[in-house]
Amino acid sequence: MINESMNLIKVGRTKRLRRFYLMTSLLAVIAFALCCTMLMLGNTIYPVMDVIRVLLGEDIKGASFAVGTIRFPRMVAGVFAGFAFGVSGYVFQTMLRNPLANPNVIGITAGSSAAAVFCIIVLQASNMVVSIASVIGGLVTVIAIFALSRGTSFSIGRLILIGIGIQAMLNAVVSYLLLIGQEHDIPTAMRWLTGSLNGMKMETLYPLIVTVLIFAPIIIALGKRLDMLELGEQAATSLGIHTDKTRLFLVISSVLIIALATASTGPIAFVAFLSGPIAKRLVGVGFSSVIPAGLVGIILVLASDLIGQFAFVTRYPVGVITGILGAPYLIYLLIRMNRKGDL
């Protein structure tokens, strides 16, 4: 009887593991296909071999500028920002055990955006200063949210409500800054409200790339501990997890990568909100969904950017398309949570 139970457990784990690797591989293939499409598609469609030759450093008339200078930085920005938004959204949703507890909804990206817009409108600062201010703004917002949400006991619902309130306040600050800003600064600042991959340059993306390459592996390494935090404070502690230290590393790493992503592309709406639930639904339970959530984030950003560029007569920023995709899901989730009594 015991052997049969053990065999059933092993079979179940093998099936879950096979599903995890299969779906993760499928997501990676889709992300890679979208990257190739981003490089080939535009006003002029270039064949795969021309794209490869340009990426290898060969000079091809027309293609070198279109692919190497315009499309490649745009694609790189979508990949790293999408991965950052997807991973950080999953971290906060899992750690706080609530699908609403993502950086977009609780005001973290709003803090980064407000700091960046202030630097653009008031200080007229360089891109490096804007990036640093965005990171500081995100960190300060996180500290403020956690500090204000601490009462006699920690409440996730209180944290989310305070985060929503702070987000509304910061959005009001951004609106005021746009009203007093110089006309030539407004187009640049508006990107922080919608999110866009337009006008990307490789030299401005290096801080985002380096930050993601450093801190995303930390989050991935803590993936199992993150899933244990979802079980609750007592359960995680009984399993030997140092909850405070784990949360600290996860929060700092997540805020840093999402702040740099916001500084590079603006707060692309709902990517952090959608990536985690989609990834969990696809790969199932039993394994950390950090990497799948990042891949879903890449797919959402790249696919939405392609739709915004080529599906309509007018070209739309990627944040407009992701907002259209995410808003109905947010309404559905709020209705479902209200019926369950979670709100």
Kindly list the distances between the CA atom of residue 292 and the CA atoms of 79, 154, 312, in Å, as whole numbers in the listed order. Answer: 13, 29, 29
Distance, CA of 266 to CA of 189 (rounded, Å): 9
> Is residue 8 in some structural domain?
no
Instruction: Decide if 197 is inside a domain.
Output: yes
Would you call 62 helix, strand, or coil by DSSP? coil
> What confidence tier does 332 reach under pLDDT thresholds 50, 70, 90?
confident
Token pair 């985060």 is found at 163
Burial class (CB in 10 A: 0-12, 13-18, 19+), 238: exposed
Alpha-carbon torsion (20, 213, 196, 327), positive or negative: positive
In percent, how much of the chain has pLDDT > 70? 91
CA 219 centroid distance within chain: 13
Residue 47 located in a structural domain: no
- Counted domains in the chain: 1
Residue 168 predicted with pLDDT over 60 = yes
Residue 221: pLDDT above 70? Answer: yes
Mean pLDDT, to the nearest integer, of 150-179?
80
Angstrom distance (rounded) from CA 15 to CA 306: 35
Euclidean distance between CA atoms 238 and 258, whole angstroms = 31
Q: Which of 110-114, 199-203, 208-212, 273-277 has the highest mean pLDDT?
A: 208-212
Q: Which residue has the tokens 């930085």?
A: 73
Res 342: pLDDT:
56
Calculate ∠ Cα 226-85-146, nearest 5°.
60
For residues 56 and 180, what is the distance between their CA atoms, to the nearest angstrom? 46
> What element of type H or E holds 264?
helix 243-265
Residue 322 lies in a domain: yes
β-sheet bridge partners, residue 154: 150
The DSSP code for 45 is P
For residue 257, pLDDT beyond 80: yes
Residue ranges in 181-242 assigned as alpha helix (H):
186-194, 202-221, 223-229, 233-238
Eight-class DSSP state of 277:
H
Say if CB 205 and CB 260 are below 8 A apart: no
Domain range for 172 is: 81-340
Do 145 and 159 form a contact (C-beta atoms < 8 A)?
A: yes
- Residue 331 predicted with pLDDT over 70: yes
* Alpha carbon 175 to its chain's center: 23
Specify if 2 maps to a domain.
no
Tally DSSP H helices, then E strands, for the chain.
15, 0
Lowest mean pLDDT among 57-61, 92-96, 185-189, 299-303: 185-189
Query: Is 117 in contact with 174 (CB distance < 8 Å)?
Result: yes
Tell me if 10 is assigned to some domain. Answer: no
Q: What is the rounded distance in angstroms from the CA atom of residue 275 to the CA atom of residue 101? A: 13
* Model confidence pLDDT, tens digit, residues 3-32: 555 565 566 667 888 888 999 999 999 999
**Average of per-residue pLDDT across 233-254:** 79
Dihedral pair phi/psi, residue 46, rounded to 5°: -105, 140
- Provide the pLDDT for residue 60: 81
Span 81-105, average pLDDT: 85
Give the pLDDT band of residue 340 (cuts 50, 70, 90): low
Could you tell me if 182 and 121 are in contact, meaning their C-beta atoms sit under 8 angstroms apart? yes
pLDDT of 192 over the 70 cut: no
**Mean pLDDT of the residues in the chain:** 83
Q: Is residue 152 part of a domain?
A: yes
CATH number at residue 205: 1.10.3470.10
Each residue's pLDDT tens digit, 271-327: 988 888 889 888 877 778 899 999 999 999 999 999 998 888 888 888 889 888 887
Q: Which residue has the tokens 């993601």?
A: 212
pLDDT over 70 (residue 104): yes
Q: What pLDDT does 300 receive?
A: 93
Structure tokens at 25: 């591989």
pLDDT of 153:
59
Range 27-34 contact pairs with CB under 8 angstroms and sequence separation of 24 or more: 27/279, 27/282, 27/292, 27/295, 27/296, 27/299, 28/295, 30/295, 30/299, 31/79, 31/295, 31/298, 31/299, 31/302, 34/298, 34/299, 34/302, 34/303, 34/306
What type of residue is 125? Answer: A
Residue 18 lies in a domain: no
Per-residue confidence band for 196, with pLDDT thresholds at 50, 70 and 90: confident
Termini Cα distance of the chain: 44
Cα 304 to chain centroid, rounded: 14
